[in-house]
Structure 1
Amino acid sequence: MAAFEAAVALGYRYLETDVHVTADGVLIAFHDDRLDRVTDGHGAVAELDWAEVRRARVDGREPIVEFGELLVAFPEARINVDPKHDAAVRPLIAAVRDARAAERVCIGSFSDARVAEIREAFGPAICTALGPWEIAALRAAAWGARPFLGRLRRRPGRCVQIPQRGRWGLPLVEPRLIAAAHELGLPVHVWTVNGAAEMARLLDLGVDGIFSDVPGVLKAVLTDRGEWHPSPGQSASGADG
């Protein structure tokens, strides 16, 4: 929770998290499949009950939180979510419905099936990023296979969220792909970028958003470019994003 609080304090109104589900069905905001790397706990999240997971501390200090707590704690924030496994999809749908938060959540996934399940549950009420097949179609369109643009126009995805490179190291964030996405009216978000120079390079290419583990660095880059905009209710000289 502390990382989200720090980002909001900086002025960000867009947050990002992955979600996993515990053995007893509790949806948690956490990146890894296992507790071992970043907490003092051990074991696979999917094999542990919530009572065990909640005892773990990130960096020895911060407890892991339920995803629903984030929706309640930051009612003004928009939250980008990646359900990391199929088992997390139904609990995610339930959490978003319980909080009536569909209009401020965007779902992205490496799985076409997970994206499809979210779309089936919410219809146009929720934002989804393009799934893997749609990204491949966009890349094909960017390199000349124009019929794919027509297919993508009929798809419900609202944004493109990609790493800088795809499978086999193929570059994804290229001017042609950005132009194709923009032709469809889709903003392009790139993850995960932590270097200031690389952030600036991507912004120069025309990307619309950046996922980063270092929000302070990203804010500084945007501020230097005159692209850091005040959040609602904040003055231009205050923390904004």
Structure 2
Amino acid sequence: MTSNGYFDNGGTVVALAHRGFSLDGLENSMAAFRAAVDLGFRYVETDVHGTKDGKAVALHDASLDRTTDGHGDVADLNWAEVKGAKIGGVEPVPLLEDLLGTWPTLRVNIDVKGTSGIAATADAIERTRAHDRVCLASFSTVRREATVALLSKPVATSAGTREAAAFFAGGFIGANMAAPLVAVGAVQVPVKLGAVRILTARHIAAAHAAGKQVHVWTINDKAEMERLIAMGVDGIVSDRADVLKEVLVAIGRWE
């Protein structure tokens, strides 16, 4: 595992625009990614599914139904069918390759959502030579590792659910919290499990001692952003890129 400089943020907080930035429900659209870039964001987060003919598309759900005017599962459709769907009825579903290619210095956190996205995601990274500026994530460690195995160069990675669960559990039972993170550069986690706060300063300190970053999702409240930054988190994933930027500018940690 290597970060290839992906996590080198010069002491600022890694500010990740969750599915780009849109207050109009246009998540994972090129318009949303452009809005984040226009705000000055250097990092965005996106999700990937693969089409039946092997194209990686930036879309959170397996199906087109919730966010677009199209219907059906991406994995069952060819790209020619998917590209006709409009997010919010107005914005086309983008290819991952278009996101990586349009902004050649933008760092992209990629959540590989299903097995259909494994080869498709690797192909998009290879075609755009984006290895040094992507972080591969997945709830499934198996999916993440399968995607990495198809790449010609190392990329940054973050922990899957199994690794994150072991990381959290270690903090509460006295086990080695860093051991589950040996193969990744970061752990990207929720702050709470239901109403219970599970991320502690002890977890953050253990990750830092092992040279790993801690990113939290999905934080949209200003006071919570400030609390987590004070705790020492390295990155925040947010739907409210505008609020996150405001907080970081105010404390002098916006790059």
TM-score by length of 1: 0.86
Matched position secondary structure for 1:160: strand
Do residues 159 (structure 1) and 186 (structure 2) align?
yes
Larger Rg: 1
Unaligned runs of 5+ in 2: 1-29
Q: Which range moves more in the overlay, 126-135 or 136-145?
A: 136-145
CA positional deviation for 1:170: 5.3
Do residues 61 (structure 1) and 87 (structure 2) align?
no
What is the match of residue 86 of structure 1? Answer: 115
What is the match of residue 220 of structure 1? Answer: 246
Amino acid at match of 2:216: V
Counterpart contact for 2:164–2:180, Cα < 8 Å: no
Give a deviation string over 1:87-110, Cα, whole Å, max 9, x none: 211111111112111111101111
Matched position secondary structure for 1:79: strand
Amino acid at match of 2:230: D
Alignment of 1:2-151 (within 5 A): 2-122=31-151, 125-147=154-176, 149=178, 151=179
Counterpart contact for 2:168–2:199, Cα < 8 Å: no
Counterpart contact for 1:162–1:172, Cα < 8 Å: no
Unaligned runs of 5+ in 1: 230-241
- Give the one of 196, 204, 213 matched to 1:187: 213
TM-score by length of 2: 0.82
- Give the one of 237, 244, 248 matched to 1:211: 237
CA positional deviation for 1:18: 0.1
Does 1 or 2 have the higher relative contact order (CA < 8 Å, sep 6+)?
2
Counterpart contact for 2:131–2:153, Cα < 8 Å: no
CA positional deviation for 1:115: 2.1
Counterpart contact for 2:168–2:177, Cα < 8 Å: no
Distance 1:2 1:35, change over 3 A: same
CA positional deviation for 1:144: 4.8
1: CA distance, partners of 2:172 / 2:121: 35
2: CA distance, partners of 1:122 / 1:55: 29
CA positional deviation for 1:10: 0.6
Distance 1:102 1:59, change over 3 A: same
What is the match of residue 177 of structure 1? Answer: 203
Matched position secondary structure for 2:150: helix
Counterpart contact for 2:177–2:206, Cα < 8 Å: no
Superposed CA RMSD in Å reads: 1.9
CA positional deviation for 1:185: 1.2
2: CA distance, partners of 1:147 / 1:225: 33
Give a deviation string over 1:28-84, Cα, whole Å, max 9, x none: 011122222221222222222212211111112111111011111010111000010
> Which one has a larger percent helix, Structure 1 or Structure 2?
1
